[in-house]
């Protein structure tokens, strides 16, 4: 019990640290995704011209506070997501391995990936209202507004206003694309990590160690961003709407592609990459280190056991 709590706290602190450093890019990403929504390319305004221009413009007009809008919501979301991952991963994995192999100690890559993705999806569903308020706080700007401007004083005020005017349904707006987005991301993260690692060892002769972990997690982060970004764009747009601009996430996707072209689903991609890369590198490389210590610990423990039997 205490180790799960320890893992929750340690993971939460690491995630919140990564979120603090990269939150400015997330703000730029959301504004880029909403900019020019349902407008053809030539009519679309371009107030934010890319990652660095976006960061610069927001910093100049709104200061660091502008870049960090919605940060407390991002923390709560991360803690919810991590809590669900830790809480649901082991039970799902144990159950499935019991059913398939009749032995819960078997480690199956497929089942592990499935359990990771399902616990991530549950976390995304639970945390969706926080992501919703976060998105609306981040798109609010007194200087260069994009999207519906919601006047929320803070995270709590946002949740309260949405609940009083639209009820639970309002709080869970966009939960579908939010679950798809996280499901996509969680299911490709580990397989691409191991794939990249094997390739780097085989073709570049890299050896086990920190540089290999960094390179493989960077490769994985890149792929995660590619598959996650289209549903992420749909999600941001579903979160922005207060009326019923779109009937469904699918409707949003189709109309976005029809009016703005296929590349519209990749609006804000580089800002997303700037956020995801440090995050993935930090979490995956850290996981390798903790696993290493875990194995060392287990070896010693098992060895001692064997000695005492002899
Ligand atoms: C955001 O949602 C509103 C509807 O609530 C819609 O009118 C608007 O076009 C959407 N996007 C932007 C960029 O404003």
Q: Residue 186's domain spans which residues? A: 4-299
Give the nearest ligand 1 atom to 37 CA.
Answer: 13
DSSP 142-167: SSS--S-----SSHHHHHHHHHHHHH
Cα distances from 276 to residues 68, 124, 262, in angstroms, run: 17, 16, 22
Q: What is the dihedral of CA 158, 162, 168, 173, to 10 degrees?
A: -90
The DSSP symbol for 141 reads -
Conformation bin of residue 42: beta by default, left when phi > 0, alpha when psi is -120 to 50: alpha
The DSSP symbol for 173 reads T
Residues within 6 Å of ligand 1 by CB: 34, 37, 146-148, 240-243, 245
Q: How far apart are the first and last CA of the chain?
A: 32
- Report the separation in Å between the CA atom of 248 and the middle of ligand 1, taken as the mean of its atom positions: 15
Nearest CA residue ID for atom 3, ligand 1: 241
Q: Does residue 306 fall inside a structural domain?
A: no
Domains held by the chain: number: 1
Q: Does residue 307 fall inside a structural domain?
A: no
Q: Does residue 304 fall inside a structural domain?
A: no
Nearest CA residue ID for atom 6, ligand 1: 241
Q: Does residue 278 fall inside a structural domain?
A: yes
Per-residue pLDDT of the chain (310 residues), as tens digits, is: 456 777 777 777 778 888 898 999 999 999 999 998 888 877 787 889 999 999 999 999 999 999 999 999 999 999 999 888 888 988 999 999 999 999 988 888 889 889 999 999 999 999 999 999 999 999 999 999 898 899 999 999 999 999 999 999 999 999 999 999 999 998 998 889 999 999 999 999 999 988 998 999 999 999 999 999 999 999 999 999 987 899 999 999 999 999 999 999 999 999 999 999 988 887 777 767 766 776 676 566 554 444 444 3
In the chain, % helix, strand, coil (3-state, to 5) comes to: 80, 0, 20
Dist CA 71 CA 69 (whole Å): 6
Q: Does residue 310 fall inside a structural domain?
A: no
- Report the separation in Å between the CA atom of 123 and the middle of ligand 1, taken as the mean of its atom positions: 27
Dist CA 277 CA 164 (whole Å): 38
- Report the separation in Å between the CA atom of 229 and the middle of ligand 1, taken as the mean of its atom positions: 19
> Which among 245, 259, 264 is the best mutation to test ligand 1's pocket, defined by most ligand atoms within 8 Å of the CB?
245
> Which among 237, 241, 244, 251 is the best mutation to test ligand 1's pocket, defined by most ligand atoms within 8 Å of the CB?
241
Q: Does residue 309 fall inside a structural domain?
A: no
Residues 192 and 223 sit within 8 Å (Cβ to Cβ):
yes
- Report the separation in Å between the CA atom of 79 and the middle of ligand 1, taken as the mean of its atom positions: 29
Cα distances from 235 to residues 226, 228, 239, 249, in angstroms, run: 15, 11, 6, 8
Q: Does residue 20 fall inside a structural domain?
A: yes
- Within 8 A by CB and 6+ apart from 48, the residues are 28, 31, 32, 35, 54, 57, 144, 146
- Report the separation in Å between the CA atom of 176 and the middle of ligand 1, taken as the mean of its atom positions: 19
- Report the separation in Å between the CA atom of 256 and the middle of ligand 1, taken as the mean of its atom positions: 12
- Within 8 A by CB and 6+ apart from 275, the residues are 22, 23, 25, 26, 29
Q: Does residue 308 fall inside a structural domain?
A: no
* Length of the chain in terms of residues written: 310
Nearest CA residue ID for atom 10, ligand 1: 147
> What CATH number should be reported for the domain holding residue 115?
1.50.40.10
Dist CA 94 CA 92 (whole Å): 6
* pTM score above 0.85: yes
- Report the separation in Å between the CA atom of 260 and the middle of ligand 1, taken as the mean of its atom positions: 15
């Amino acid at each position: 019990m205490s180790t799960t709590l320890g893992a929750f706290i340690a993971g939460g602190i690491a995630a919140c640290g990564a979120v603090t450093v990269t939150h400015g890019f997330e703000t730029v990403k959301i504004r880029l995704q909403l900019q020019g929504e349902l407008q053809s390319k030539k009519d679309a305004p371009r107030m934010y011209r890319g990652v660095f221009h976006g960061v610069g413009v927001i910093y100049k007009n709104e200061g660091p506070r502008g870049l960090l809008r919605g940060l407390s919501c991002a923390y709560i979301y991360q803690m919810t997501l991590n809590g669900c991952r830790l809480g649901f991963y082991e039970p799902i994995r144990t159950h499935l391995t019991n059913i398939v192999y009749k032995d819960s100690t078997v480690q199956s890559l497929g089942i592990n990936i499935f359990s990771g993705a399902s616990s991530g999806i549950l976390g995304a569903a639970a945390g969706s209202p926080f992501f919703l308020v976060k998105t609306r706080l981040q798109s609010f700007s007194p200087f260069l507004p994009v999207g519906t401007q919601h006047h929320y004083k803070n995270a709590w005020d946002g949740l309260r206003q949405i609940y009083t005017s639209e009820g639970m349904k309002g709080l869970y707006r966009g939960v579908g694309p939010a679950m798809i987005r996280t499901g996509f991301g969680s299911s490709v993260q580990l397989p691409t990590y191991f794939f990249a690692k094997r390739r780097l060892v085989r073709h570049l002769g890299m050896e086990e160690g920190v540089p290999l972990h960094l390179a493989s997690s960077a490769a994985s982060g890149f792929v995660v961003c590619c598959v996650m970004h289209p549903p992420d764009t749909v999600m941001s747009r579903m979160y922005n709407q207060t009326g019923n601009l779109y009937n469904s996430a699918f409707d949003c996707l189709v109309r976005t592609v029809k009016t703005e072209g296929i590349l519209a689903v990749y609006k804000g991609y580089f800002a997303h990459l700037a956020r995801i890369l440090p995050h993935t590198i930090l979490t995956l490389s850290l996981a390798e280190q903790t696993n290493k210590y875990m194995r060392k610990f287990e070896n010693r423990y098992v060895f001692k056991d064997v000695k005492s039997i002899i």
